[in-house]
Structure 1
């Protein structure tokens, strides 16, 4: 993700301006540490619940599992970034991990977006076309959609495998997650526009169209069964959470990244530094989307809360059964059991 931030203080274009490296190192190391902990706990718990209750599989369940896996893979790459920024921009983990960690972060960032699209389309069909939904939205179809998303995003993100670690001539440090220079920068600008259109604008438009259809259907529906009311409640919760995630996490990131890559700054250093710092903050917000997704499972997930309760009850029952088996038998209990046998 940092390959697109262009916040390297040693870049010749900004040689006359103060460096924000200290600000960048502090913000990234702190934010990524918090996101790692919250993301691992929230998505790890969600994935555990979904796996343990996999007998209740539904299309929405399949999308939730893939989104949880995507978020977990995303936050698992963040400790390497924490280590990099704690060491003041010194990379010691080798070229392979540099390439893979950059690539993995982008894959799972955009997979998360597309899994949200799939969940939104699924909820749209359930509300607007409930009869056709039973035939169109099946577990096998959902698995095929998820496979297609993984393959599509992995191929689309493949350019991030092309750049790895390099030596910074000014500081003699081994760098990773830093922007390319010269001709590589022009390729980066073109790649940014492709990722903005395909990775953000199109998914966001699809989500808005789905939610417009859901809201229109709910407003025009005069009477509804209890099942339809439950589906509508889940849809409304999803609308709120997904839109907040897009507006808080993904929108600032793509807007700030595009502005910084495309906008020609004047000689005012304060203006440049303000944009650079805003890009750092927006990158942290984009990575933080993995912390918001557990809210999506809990508040709009299909029977997720009932799955959580049933898992807790079954775990408690097994623990009590195990305790009873290990509990020593008193003399009176032994006599009572012997009497019953007699």
Structure 2
């Protein structure tokens, strides 16, 4: 499948319309459907006259006459008034795409990713042990993917119940912030794994002082702290909105357009740049240089070199396909602020999140289970257990246990599979 076939439908939706702003600085949240708040003292939306339309136009909502006429009334739980959301948003919140396809997709991701990453974490901690930088990075990546998968039941329940959140605003804030925190932790950790492999392959001797467990641990702690700081605005802002028209409470899917602060105009582009575009450039550079070094290296067998090159390319393609659509759509909203916003861009964003969630299934397959050394290790462990089950003497068990421990000490980390 060509990359265009994956990106095409998503990017065409995003590029069709962009986010909008006004002279007074109000703007639309790029990651949610926009909801325009109208107080009870205003006329109902169905009876708006030209003076009311002028008032809405001056509010910075960017609403056209046609858009205002198809708006529906929704109730804000904390203030007397209404939200107006587009008919497009209303149909999407009730449609099969959001209430059937998205949760079903997340169910498949949950049942695949959680067992794979749980096994990977156990293998890293118990058998390989975090003694090398590559193992430390991959252990943290497995933890981030595991936490991401464990959050999916909340998203599944939300979408299956017609995009109705029943767990309260604070849990919605926590799940939303943790969802993005773990996703962008994965991005940064994948970049670090690429950097570690780059140093190990291209500068194997000069990088020994840099590639230490202490350095890797410090980098991982910094990544988690940076991701937590990055998602703090999501945690400290209200994420739930009650829609009286649909009788549902949305979580993060609808935000008040007039309440967004002007600094969001700078926050989200900086956020996407720090957590994706800079890591993307670095990761591409790392893996391109790795491929060049492997191609020029004198490897014992051609098949070994081919395997290493193919695995490197697969990791890079996975990174681009899983995370690029989400972040490009996010940035598109802030490139052209003079255009009228459309809720179709948020539909594309939700679909791109589904694609991004695949990374927590693919990561353990590429980084851990894709290693020939890991495959030999797993086969050895299960083979040893079968032999121990049929053994009848203590001496035989002791001998095999000694051989097993010796083999475990000789197992190299997955990070060295390309050397």
- In the superposition, the TM-score normalised over structure 2's length comes to 0.66
In structure 1, the partner of 2:318 is 245
Change (3 A) 1:293 1:12: same
Change (3 A) 1:263 1:86: farther
Kindly indicate whether residue 125 of structure 2 is the aligned counterpart of residue 51 of structure 1.
yes
Q: Return the alpha-carbon distance in structure 2 between the equivalents of residues 114 and 198 of structure 1.
A: 9
Which consecutive unaligned segments of at least 5 residues does structure 1 have?
326-342
In structure 2, the partner of 1:179 is 254
Change (3 A) 1:160 1:238: farther
Deviates more, 1:45-54 or 1:86-95: 45-54
1:76 CA drift (Å): 0.6
Change (3 A) 1:86 1:13: closer
In structure 2, the partner of 1:293 is 363
* SS class of match (1:251): helix
Residue among 26, 32, 39 paired with 2:113: 39
| Deviation string, structure 1 residues 155-174 (Cα, Å, up to 9, x no partner) | 12211101333323443432
| Deviation string, structure 1 residues 223-267 (Cα, Å, up to 9, x no partner) | 3568xx96x667534532322222221011111233356556988
Q: Return the alpha-carbon distance in structure 2 between the equivalents of residues 16 and 298 of structure 1.
A: 43
Kindly indicate whether residue 350 of structure 2 is the aligned counterpart of residue 280 of structure 1.
yes
Higher strand share: 2
Higher helix share: 1
In structure 1, the partner of 2:284 is 208
In structure 2, the partner of 1:333 is none
In structure 2, the partner of 1:311 is 381
Q: Do 1:214 and 1:235's aligned partners in 2 also have CA atoms closer than 8 Å?
A: no
* SS class of match (1:134): coil
Kindly indicate whether residue 131 of structure 2 is the aligned counterpart of residue 61 of structure 1.
no
- In the superposition, the TM-score normalised over structure 1's length comes to 0.80
> Over the residues paired in the alignment, what is the CA RMSD in angstroms?
3.1
Kindly indicate whether residue 273 of structure 2 is the aligned counterpart of residue 197 of structure 1.
yes
Change (3 A) 1:115 1:314: farther
In structure 1, the partner of 2:207 is 133
1:125 CA drift (Å): 0.6
Change (3 A) 1:13 1:92: closer
Q: Do 1:49 and 1:308's aligned partners in 2 also have CA atoms closer than 8 Å?
A: no
Residue among 304, 309, 312 paired with 1:236: 309
Change (3 A) 1:320 1:134: farther
| Deviation string, structure 1 residues 62-98 (Cα, Å, up to 9, x no partner) | 1111100000000111100111111112111122211
